[in-house]
Amino acid sequence: MKMAEKKIKAIGVLTSGGDAPGMNAAVRAVVRHGLTKGMKVFGIKRGYSGLIDEEIIEMKAGNVSGILSLGGTVLGTARCKEMRTPEGIARAVEVCNKYGIEGLVVIGGDGSYRGAEKLANEGINVVGVPGTIDLDIACTEYTIGFDTAVNTAMEAIDKVRDTSSSHERCSIIEVMGRNAGYIALWCGIANGAEDVLLPEKYDYDEQKLIDNIIDNRRRGKTHHIIVNAEGVGHSASMARRIEAATGMETRATILGYMQRGGSPTCKDRVYASTMGCLAVDLLAEGKTKRVVSYANGKFRDYDINEALAMTKEIDPYQIEICSSLSHNYYKTEEAALDVDEEL
Ligand code: ATP
């Protein structure tokens, strides 16, 4: 330990923003690794609201028994307006001081990091852990919950696809992700969707979709799956317009909150556990204003402001292959046939 670093005796952990499967694995890791490091660990209920309202319990190893396989977050989560005010921050700091909480692990998204940064400015050491199914945190290639959510969505889409084929329907399946298209893109590839609508790319050219459906129909395809991202939305009205234009029965299915629940996958449990431990290690080293990340095959950490200033782009190569594997190959085959015929 360097001379300037103070040894942290007590830390707190909270989950904030939208819940995500795997958050419990991260909470468990913070509690158990913190105890291993000789720290007192406090669990803070309902995110920043619970901090301000003093809903705080001292955690022992047994408090996190049996939670690894549970979806949601046993600590609960909330959106807390008060944290956006100077009074709310002052109150949160006061409560931390009252309990002797010198370090805080905040599991959540960008919004939660902004709150954490303000607490750090008031002397509470903070480390953020990326928890969101949307994968929309720029500094990291992995966020807790994405893997489970995308697997849940994939399984649901497989099922809708079965019935769409039997009934020769077009299905528009809306997946979550807020303004990010990661869940939609991954499902587009994993489910072999005919079309994928991403908020980052969609040009609102419905005629192109209609032409694709008619084209596929002509070639004898029995179904047409469109994976639509939440950020594009309007699946029900889109289905009505597509049915009217193509004559193909078209149904919209909005998967909704089922994607946020369920037992976390192995990857979410392992990565969330690793990130929880890393957050504790950073606090133990006296670090603050850090966020944990997974990038280029390694777990690492960034300065919170640097992380908040980063942007990331949905992988253009993944978009290209998604399109190539859906309907474009027909066009290539057809072009080849045309050439053969000309010869
Ligand atoms: P998700 O992306 O999963 O919804 P998030 O952490 O981005 O997660 P938000 O609702 O944006 O979700 O933020 C969670 C909480 O963090 C807010 O309810 C609020 O208490 C706090 N917070 C957000 N932005 C700020 C801010 N600028 N200053 C202080 N606190 C903030």
Residue 21 Cα, ligand 1 centroid: separation in angstroms?
18
pLDDT (mean) for 301-309: 96
pLDDT 10s digits, 99-143: 999 999 999 999 999 999 999 999 999 999 999 999 999 999 999
pLDDT computed for residue 166 by the predictor? 86
Q: Is the CB of 88 under 6 A from ligand 1?
A: no
pLDDT computed for residue 1 by the predictor? 45
The token duo for 40 is 């007192």
Q: Is the CB of 84 under 6 A from ligand 1?
A: yes
Does the structure show a pLDDT above 60 at 193? yes
- Residue 218's pLDDT band, with cuts at 50, 70 and 90, is confident
CA terminus-to-terminus distance, the chain: 77
pLDDT computed for residue 164 by the predictor? 87
| Higher-pLDDT residue of 338, 240 | 240
**Domain match, 223 and 249 both:** yes
The count of domains in the chain is: 2
| Higher-pLDDT residue of 290, 164 | 290
**Domain match, 61 and 160 both:** no
Residue 269 lies in a domain: yes
pLDDT computed for residue 160 by the predictor? 94
**Domain match, 200 and 293 both:** no
CATH code: domain of residue 246: 3.40.50.460
Residue 324 lies in a domain: no
Amino acid identity for residue 25 in this structure: A
**Domain match, 240 and 283 both:** no
Residue 328 lies in a domain: no
pLDDT computed for residue 206 by the predictor? 94
Residue 111 Cα, ligand 1 centroid: separation in angstroms?
3
Helices (H), the chain: 23-36, 47-52, 86-99, 110-121, 146-167, 182-190, 206-218, 235-246, 266-284, 304-309, 316-323, 329-342
Residue 322 lies in a domain: no
**Which atom of ligand 1 is the closest one to the Cα of 79?**
18
pLDDT (mean) for 146-160: 97
Residue 320 lies in a domain: no
CATH code: domain of residue 128: 3.40.50.450
Alpha carbons within 13 angstroms on the beta-carbon side of residue 112 total 31
**Domain match, 170 and 108 both:** no
pLDDT (mean) for 144-167: 95
**Domain match, 247 and 269 both:** no
C-alpha span between 96 and 119 (Å, rounded): 10
pLDDT computed for residue 327 by the predictor? 66
C-alpha span between 93 and 10 (Å, rounded): 14
Q: Which domain holds residue 139?
A: 10-145+264-309
pLDDT 10s digits, 224-283: 999 999 999 999 999 999 999 999 999 999 999 999 999 999 999 999 999 999 999 999
**Domain match, 269 and 222 both:** no
Lowest-pLDDT range of 159-163, 211-215, 251-255, 338-342: 338-342
CB neighbour list of residue 17: distance below 8 Å, 6 or more residues apart: 47, 77, 79, 108, 109, 111, 112, 131, 132
Which of 236, 256, 276 is the C-terminal boundary of a domain? 256
Does the structure show a pLDDT above 80 at 3? no
Q: What percent of the chain has pLDDT over 70?
A: 93
Residue 132 lies in a domain: yes
**Domain match, 137 and 220 both:** no
Residue 24 Cα, ligand 1 centroid: separation in angstroms?
19
**Domain match, 126 and 268 both:** yes
Q: Which of 45, 46, 79 to mutate to test the pocket of ligand 1 (most atoms within 8 A of CB)?
A: 79
Q: Is-contact 84 114, C-beta < 8 A?
A: no
Residue 141 lies in a domain: yes
**Which atom of ligand 1 is the closest one to the Cα of 18?**
3
Which of 194, 228, 256 is the C-terminal boundary of a domain? 256
The token duo for 256 is 């909704």
Ligand 1, atom 17, lies closest to the CA of: 79
Phi, psi of 168 (to 5 degrees): 55, 55
pLDDT computed for residue 184 by the predictor? 98
**Domain match, 80 and 203 both:** no
Does the structure show a pLDDT above 80 at 2? no
**Domain match, 129 and 27 both:** yes
**Domain match, 136 and 269 both:** yes
Question: For 249, left (φ over 0), alpha (ψ -120 to 50), or beta?
Answer: beta
Q: Is the CB of 91 under 6 A from ligand 1?
A: no
pLDDT computed for residue 16 by the predictor? 96
Residue 109 lies in a domain: yes
Does the structure show a pLDDT above 50 at 311? yes
